[in-house]
């Protein structure tokens, strides 16, 4: 008799510990299964906001603007301003681009810094340089930009084919 | 199978010593932390798993589900109860209630370890073989060009690199690392001890018929 009661008591305890959480979770969410199972909307919205721009439209062509180039020996140096469209901090690891003047490609330039840290939606300046033997370009444009950046240890390599205007 | 080891020969009272240790471990296991940890990048995604806790964060933003949270709390309570029952049953192996209380918790650590391993393997299979085609379709449908998603997830432990290639415009690469913690190995040890304790308990506890008689007398 007692053994039977204990046997059933333990079985009921097991069932209560399985079904109980389900009923409590559903009860506290007005019996809405979706609301009980999924994370709350605010948490999801924050994640969506932080990855917007990276997994959404991707890096845009308006992120770069270039300053007045200088020539040092046989090297062309171009100051570049980068405005981050991302809602999270990133590290720019590398930027490669072609410089054109009057519609003609004149040089290949690369970011000279090893790494540039950019805070969320911040603007940073860095220098790009490459071998060049001609005269000072009058209307330099960046085209075919390849950017490699990192956020939270994830590396993104993006290619932009459009031209970015000079100063 | 019967264990011939008799603690009474060593001058110790007739208790299930294996069960006592297992019970103690079952009692503390829920409070020792995650059994398995998985990361993508350095904070892009972090998952810490155990049968009692699931901590998921995306872009350092924690994600929680109330249903999952309650199930985990229930698992925690179940283990605490099971631990107490096992200790009681091991201290008094000849009482009529001993066998039932002992059985309630003795195999729980073993099945928890097995379930976690199955879940991790099934999860990796889904991520490696099902998710890439779904994500490729989703990215392509969202106008991201011809997207190729390649996920190489390790099974249970290891490191790998996963990539998402969106046409010729972007490549996203994430290092992935999975590892088991010392708590997992303690859970494995508890599971093995539980099996030993169960076998040993057969030599200690009186046969079921006698127990039923005892229970009826009371």
pLDDT tens per residue, range B152-163: 888 999 999 888
What's the pLDDT at A54? 60
Are both A86 and A31 inside the same structural domain?
no
Helix (H) or strand (E) holding A33, with range, is: helix A33-37
Give dist(CA B18, CA B195) in Å, integer.
9
Is there a single domain that holds both residue A127 and residue A93?
Answer: yes
Q: Within this chain, do residues A25 and A67 fall inside the same structural domain, yes or no?
A: no
A72 has a pLDDT exceeding 90: no
Residue from B39, B59, B75, B80 to probe the interface with A (highest A Cβ count within 10 Å):
B59
ipTM above 0.85? no
Tell whether A16 is covered by a domain. yes
Residues A23 and A102 in one domain: no
Residue A76, φ and ψ in degrees, nearest 5: -100, 125
Same domain, A12 and A67: no
pLDDT digits (tens, 9 = 90+) for A123-139: 999 999 888 877 788 88
Question: Which pairing describes strands A154-160 and A140-151: parallel, antiparallel, or unpaired?
Answer: antiparallel
Whether A146 contacts A110, CB under 8 Å: no
Give me the pLDDT at residue B120, please. Answer: 92
What is the distance between the alpha carbons of residues A47 and A30, in angstroms, rounded to a whole number? 25
Please check whether residue A89 is in contact with residue A151, taking contact to mean a CB–CB distance below 8 angstroms: yes
Give strand pairing partners of A148. Answer: A94, A157
Query: What pLDDT, on a 0 to 100 scale, did the predictor assign at position B10?
Result: 62
Rg (CA), chain B: 24
What pLDDT sits at residue A27?
Answer: 85
Contact call for residues B147 and B136 (beta carbons, < 8 A): yes
Alpha-carbon gap, residue B79 to A59, rounded angstroms: 50
Same domain, A147 and A89: yes
Q: For testing the chain B interface, which of A1, A10, A32, A161 should be mutated: the one with the most B CBs within 10 Å?
A: A10
Within-domain flag for A144: yes
Mean pLDDT of B14-24: 89
Residues A17 and A80 in one domain: no
Which residue, chain included where needed, has tokens 């790009």? Answer: A128
Torsion of CA B16, B18, B23, B29, to 10 degrees: 180
A70 and A148 share one domain: yes
Asked if residue A119 is part of any domain, the answer here is yes
**pTM, rounded to two decimals:** 0.80
pLDDT digits (tens, 9 = 90+) for B5-17: 565 566 666 788 8
Q: What is the mean pLDDT of residues A35-56?
A: 70
Q: Residue A17 is nearest to which of B59, B77, B173, comparing CB atoms?
A: B77
Mean pLDDT of chain B, nearest integer: 84
B171 has a chain A CB within 8 A of its CB: yes
* Strands of A11-122, DSSP E: 64-66, 70-72, 75-83, 90-101, 104-111, 116-118
Judged on CB neighbours under 10 Å (0-12, 13-18, 19+), B73 is middle
Report the pLDDT value the prediction gives residue B37, as an integer from 0 to 100: 95
- Higher pLDDT residue, A60 or A146? A146
How confident is the model at residue B9, as a pLDDT? 62
SS3 content of chain A, % helix, strand, coil (to 5): 30, 40, 30
Residue B39 to residue B102: CA distance in whole angstroms: 38
Instruction: Compute the nearest-CA separation of B10 from chain A (Å).
Output: 32
Is residue A50 domain-resident? no
Is residue A99 within 8 Å of A164, Cβ to Cβ? no
Q: Which of A147, A154, A157, A158 to mutate to test the interface with B (most CBs of B within 10 A)?
A: A154
Query: Which CATH number applies to B7-217?
Result: 1.20.140
**What pLDDT score does B127 carry?**
84
Is A167 within the bounds of a domain?
no
pLDDT at B35: 95
Domain chopping of chain B, boundaries: 7-217
What is the distance between the terminal CA atoms of chain B, rounded to a whole angstrom? 31
Which residue range forms the structural domain that includes residue A32? 2-38
pLDDT at B32 over 60: yes
Centre a 10 Å sphere on the Cβ of residue B200 and count the other Cβ atoms it contains: 23
Smallest Cβ–Cβ distance between A25 and the set B40, B63, B67 belongs to: B67
Alpha-carbon distance B76 to B83, whole Å?
A: 11
- Does the structure show a pLDDT above 80 at B30? yes
Q: Does the pLDDT at position A3 exceed 60?
A: yes
Contact A96, A145 (CB under 8 A): yes
For B175-213, what is each residue's pLDDT tens digit? 999 999 999 999 999 999 999 998 888 887 666 665 556
pLDDT of residue A167: 45
From the list A7, A26, A151, the residue facing B100 with the nearest CB is A7
Residues A13 and A25: their CA atoms lie apart, in Å, by: 18
3-state secondary structure of A95: strand
Q: pLDDT (tens digit, 9 = 90+) per residue, B54-102?
A: 998 888 888 888 888 888 999 999 999 999 999 999 988 888 888 888 8
- The verdict on residue A87 lying in a domain is yes
* Domain-located, residue A18: yes
Residues A143 and A96 in one domain: yes
Whether A70 and A115 share a structural domain: yes
CB B41 within 8 A of CB B174: yes
Which residue in this structure is represented by tokens 């919205």?
A45
The model's pLDDT over A74-92, given as tens digits with 9 standing for 90+, comes to: 888 889 898 888 888 889 9
B209–chain A Cβ distance below 8 A for any pair: no
pLDDT in tens, B117-147: 999 999 889 888 887 777 777 666 655 566 7
DSSP one-letter code for A85? -
- Residue A110 located in a structural domain: yes
Domain tally for chain A? 2
């Amino acid at each position: 008799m007692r053994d039977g009661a204990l046997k059933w008591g333990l079985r009921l305890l097991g069932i209560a510990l399985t079904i109980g959480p389900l009923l409590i979770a559903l009860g506290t969410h007005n019996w809405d299964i979706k609301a009980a199972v999924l994370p709350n909307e605010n948490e999801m919205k924050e994640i969506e906001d932080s990855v917007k721009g990276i997994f959404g439209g991707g890096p845009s062509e308006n992120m770069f603007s270039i300053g007045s180039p200088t020539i040092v020996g046989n090297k062309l140096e171009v100051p570049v301003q980068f405005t981050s469209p991302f809602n999270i901090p990133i590290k720019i690891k590398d930027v490669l681009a072609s410089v054109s003047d009057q519609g003609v490609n004149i040089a290949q330039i690369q970011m000279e810094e090893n790494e540039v840290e950019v805070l969320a939606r911040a603007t940073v300046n860095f220098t790009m340089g490459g071998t060049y033997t001609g005269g000072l370009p009058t209307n330099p444009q960046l085209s075919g930009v390849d950017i490699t950046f990192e956020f939270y240890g994830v590396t993104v390599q993006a290619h932009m084919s459009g031209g970015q205007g000079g100063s | 199978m019967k264990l011939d080891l008799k603690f009474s020969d060593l001058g110790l009272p007739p208790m299930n010593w294996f069960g006592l240790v297992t019970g103690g471990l079952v009692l503390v296991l829920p409070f020792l932390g995650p059994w398995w940890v998985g990361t993508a990048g350095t904070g892009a995604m972090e998952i810490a798993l155990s049968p009692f806790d699931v901590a998921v964060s995306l872009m350092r933003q924690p994600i929680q589900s109330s249903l999952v949270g309650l199930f985990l709390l229930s698992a925690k309570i179940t283990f605490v109860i099971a631990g107490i029952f096992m200790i009681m049953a091991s201290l008094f192996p000849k009482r009529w209630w001993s066998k039932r209380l002992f059985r309630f918790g003795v195999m729980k650590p073993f099945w928890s370890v097995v379930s976690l391993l199955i879940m991790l393997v099934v999860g990796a299979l889904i991520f490696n073989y099902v998710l890439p085609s779904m994500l490729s379709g989703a990215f392509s449908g969202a106008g991201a060009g011809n997207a190729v998603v390649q996920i190489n997830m390790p099974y249970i432990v290891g490191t790998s690199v996963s990539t998402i290639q969106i046409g010729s415009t972007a490549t996203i690469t994430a290092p992935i690392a999975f590892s088991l913690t010392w708590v997992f190995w303690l859970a494995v040890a508890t599971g093995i001890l539980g099996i030993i304790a169960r076998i040993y308990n057969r030599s200690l506890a009186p046969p079921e018929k006698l127990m039923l008689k005892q229970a009826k007398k009371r």
